[in-house]
Chains A and B, each alone.
Chain A
């Protein structure tokens, strides 16, 4: 017993040290490098790079795309999770699998699919030009591409919670005469709110940084369809190292903030769950 304990402690130390070393070496260090590069010459040059017209426009565009994509995916995630856990219908398992497609498919393919659909050679193009709608190489294309890539995040967080809860309370509510919307609002939503928020945060983090799919449908029109990640890459390739890393620092800061928010939400939801159990 004693020997076991000692060996386990040794094993534990090694594992913990290895984990920390890995995280430090491959995750934390590169991010610190970004921040260091951004502030290498002080705050003033950093601020000048970030307040450059095109960087500011790229940031604004990234925020707009992210908010729209997250809003869509939140709505969709709620509907899909509700449908999958509260009703039974043929092809349900299949639908759940389909939701995960964006996890498996390369973002480049997502972008190309939109080009082949809405681009000049795509089948929807005649209809779009007739009605003067622009999708690819314009903001709607960026939003669509981002939606595709961040599709599963919200639904994936809610489904397990709803499944674990079961349908008893909702059935009770319906029996007591509550309408569908009332049931959803007063019974279902309180159970899933933290999972929902958690999903939204993850979704936001992923949407802000999306590169691959957006790169394909963007057309790189500076000040128009250049999101922050695309802009960072262009700046870097054009030898504007300081500007590039300054812009990257914004993304890193956003990511850190979102992670902090995620941890807070996780903490609250655990406390919340404990209260319910008691």
Chain B
């Protein structure tokens, strides 16, 4: 019987010691950096981390290990607030980083620390339609026509869906020359055409791509290209003349880098995103490079002459006011979508 107990406990102790090995390894001189990011950037940072580690090795002769974490953007911000010791965060929305700032981990003013509102790459909302575009969808007003099945996630629960909504709003605002009653009616028509309102962007993509629902999917440009690559020959991307400019921001988590002594490394890591190599990698993974010259190299991929409106446009006045007006309980979206 002693044997049975020993059989159970001996490997347990052995593995317990085993578990301590990585901890002691961390004490060696190879540098380490933790990047907490959001869901669709996985492939982008897979490649970028390799490139940066090679660059770092070249420059300093030291090895660098980059630990990557991906998940829903707001959820990821939350884990950093709760003590997930990220050196840098590369998230989907500025408000997620602002949340970390409000928790006292990032100093105010982070958004001017790096060029372009601390967004090394941008993205926009495009249409994914079925091959040959049988319904002839070209612009936002085509979405409001009768008999068009629209797929988008719910703006109440999905960050991405808010961009879809606001992009449509920006279009309508120009079309109806700021007449808010008409704009609201137009947005209502689009949402009346929504067949399935999923809770998240990936859910909507699945609804459209796998389950074959609807005529048009409103999606992030990078997500649309990913879906295109997954299912060759079934879909095509339509870039509407007007859309919204999303600027996924990056920031150094000040408290954590000061504690770990990694500020210099973290700064270099984020700066390198703006280098020619970093910019090309983001373009390759369907994020628009913020460097105009590099973006030009991808002119066959991205429609570069779209009119893109930012969230800081007077029309929206930044995330805070936009959120309060459109998406909070009782906001414009609640009024038009009462099903």
Contact = CB atoms under 8 A, between A and B. Distances in A.
Interface of A: 63-64, 67-68, 70-71, 74, 115, 118-121, 125, 134, 136-137, 139, 185, 189-190, 193, 196-197, 200, 219-224, 234, 237-239
Given A136-B82, A219-B79, A200 B15 contact: no
A222 B43 CA distance: 13
24 contacts: A63-B15, A64-B15, A64-B18, A67-B15, A71-B8, A71-B13, A74-B8, A118-B83, A119-B82, A121-B83, A137-B82, A137-B84, A189-B1, A193-B4, A200-B8, A219-B36, A221-B67, A221-B69, A222-B67, A223-B68, A224-B22, A237-B39, A238-B42, A239-B230
Contacts of B15: 63-64, 67-68
Nearest to A72: B12
A137 B5 contact: no
Contacts of A222: 67-70
Contacts of B4: 193, 196-197
A189 B8 CA distance: 14
B232 interface: no
Contact of B12 (A71, A125, A234): A71
Contacts of A134: 85
Contact of A121 (B22, B82, B202): B82
Tell me what chain A mostly uses at the interface: helix, strand, loop, or mixed: helix
A190 B69 CA distance: 47
B133 to A, nearest CB: 24
A175 to B, nearest CB: 22
Contacts, number: 83
B67 A121 contact: no
Chain B interface bracket (under 10, 10 to 19, 20 to 34, 35 or more): 20 to 34
Best-surrounded residue of B39, B76, B83, B230 (most CB of chain A within 10 A): B83
B147 interface: no
Interface string B36-72: 1001001000000000000000000000000111110
Provide the main secondary structure of the chain B interface: helix
A68 B83 contact: no
Nearest to A125: B83
A193 B68 CA distance: 44
Given A120-B83, A237-B202, A223 B42 contact: no
A102 B185 CA distance: 51
Nearest to B85: A137
Given A193-B1, A193-B4, A237-B39, A67 B69 contact: no
A139 B103 CA distance: 24
Interface centre among B34, B36, B82 (most CB of A within 10 A): B82
A120 B81 contact: yes
A217 to B, nearest CB: 9
A224 B35 CA distance: 13
Interface of B: 1-2, 4-5, 8-9, 11-13, 15-16, 18-19, 22, 34, 36, 39, 42, 67-71, 76, 79, 81-85, 103, 202, 226, 230
Contacts of A67: 11-12, 15-16
Given A71-B8, A222-B67, A239 B226 contact: yes
A219 B68 contact: no
Contacts of A70: 8, 12
A137 B12 contact: no
Q: Which 9 A-B pairs have the closest CB atoms?
A: A71-B12, A120-B83, A119-B82, A219-B84, A137-B84, A67-B15, A220-B69, A189-B1, A119-B83
Of the candidates A70, A118, A120, A136, the one having the most CB atoms from chain B within 10 angstroms of its own CB is A120
Contacts of B22: 224
A137 B76 CA distance: 12
A213 to B, nearest CB: 15
A224 B12 contact: no
A264 B1 CA distance: 17
Contact of B70 (A115, A190, A200, A220): A220
B70 A68 contact: no
A136 B80 CA distance: 11
Contacts of B85: 134, 137
Most chain A CB inside 10 Å of its own CB: which residue of B5, B36, B79, B85? B79
Contacts of B81: 120-121
A117 B144 CA distance: 50
B16 A189 contact: no
A71 B9 contact: yes
B67 A224 contact: yes
Nearest to A78: B5
Nearest to B43: A238
B94 to A, nearest CB: 22
Given A118-B83, A221-B68, 4 more contacts: A68-B12, A68-B15, A139-B19, A222-B68
